[in-house]
Amino acid sequence: MKIAIVGAESTGKTVLAQQMTAHFQSRGHAAQLISEFLREWCDREKRTPKASEQAAIAREQAHRVDLARETGHTIADTTPLMTAVYSDLLFNDTSLYDFALQHQRRYDLTMLTALDLPWVADGLQRDGPHVQPEVDRLLRLALGRAGINYHVVHGTGQQRLACALTIVEHFRQRLADQGAGSCADWSWHCAQCGNAQCEHRLFKDLVGAGSMRR
């Protein structure tokens, strides 16, 4: 099973990917973590990439998934879609979306981390809490236009991990019951209320609160 974790900066993507990998491994399942190439790139170059360097970063992120073994769980801490979104946001360059979305379709599950964690600085990689709502909006817009289902992961601490694992388990059960073809348009309903629109309301409330503070 290939699982992609995407989301705005400082929404816990890396921690969640690490926790999920450790969870599966601790239970005797094969699991591999695909790390974020951009983080390594920034550490090595001591700067953020230019517009002309974005495509190569996206390709390398995809290449890492291509090299992953096919068995067990592959958990990607970000995908080329994040590079495409930031290219759009920072450089007004939408040329990477086609490649990124084609790659995104290769995952069994796409998880989107919610905007319910406090923003934390992380060196060169982060632009500030003010960009979170727009990054989130662009991600949802791109996934929606491409017809790629995504499942929002929310909560703090172990709640966030539990939410992600619940999504995996529901998908696995659906796969076992109805087969791969019927899972293409599957969408998970929140365990708390059963309403698929609840996370959209959470998102709007968070964005509204942020606007009032500014």
pLDDT at 198 over 60: no
pLDDT at 123: 60
CA torsion sign for 138, 144, 147, 153 is: positive
In tens, the pLDDT along 89-129 reads 999 999 999 999 999 999 999 999 999 988 777 665 556 67
Number of structural domains found in the chain: 1
- Which pTM does this prediction carry? 0.82
Asked whether the CA dihedral 139, 44, 127, 167 is positive or negative, the reply is positive
Helix (H, G, I), strand (E, B) or coil at 174: helix
Low-confidence winner among 83-97, 120-134, 148-162 (lowest mean pLDDT): 120-134
C-alpha span between 193 and 88 (Å, rounded): 35
Given a cut of 90, is residue 204 above it in pLDDT?
no
DSSP 3-state of 33: strand
Q: Are 76 and 97 in contact (CB under 8 A)?
A: no
Range of the structural domain that residue 176 is part of:
2-213
Share of the chain above pLDDT 70, in %: 79
CATH of the domain at 152: 3.40.50.300
Give the pLDDT score at 45: 93
Q: What is the dihedral of CA 56, 108, 146, 54, to 10 degrees?
A: -10
CA angle, residues 187, 138, 190, in degrees to nearest 5: 25
For the four alpha carbons of 36, 103, 164 and 68, in that order, the dihedral sign comes to negative
CA distance 37 to 17: 14
- Edge-to-edge strand list for the sheet holding 151-153: 31-34, 73-77, 2-6, 109-113, 151-153
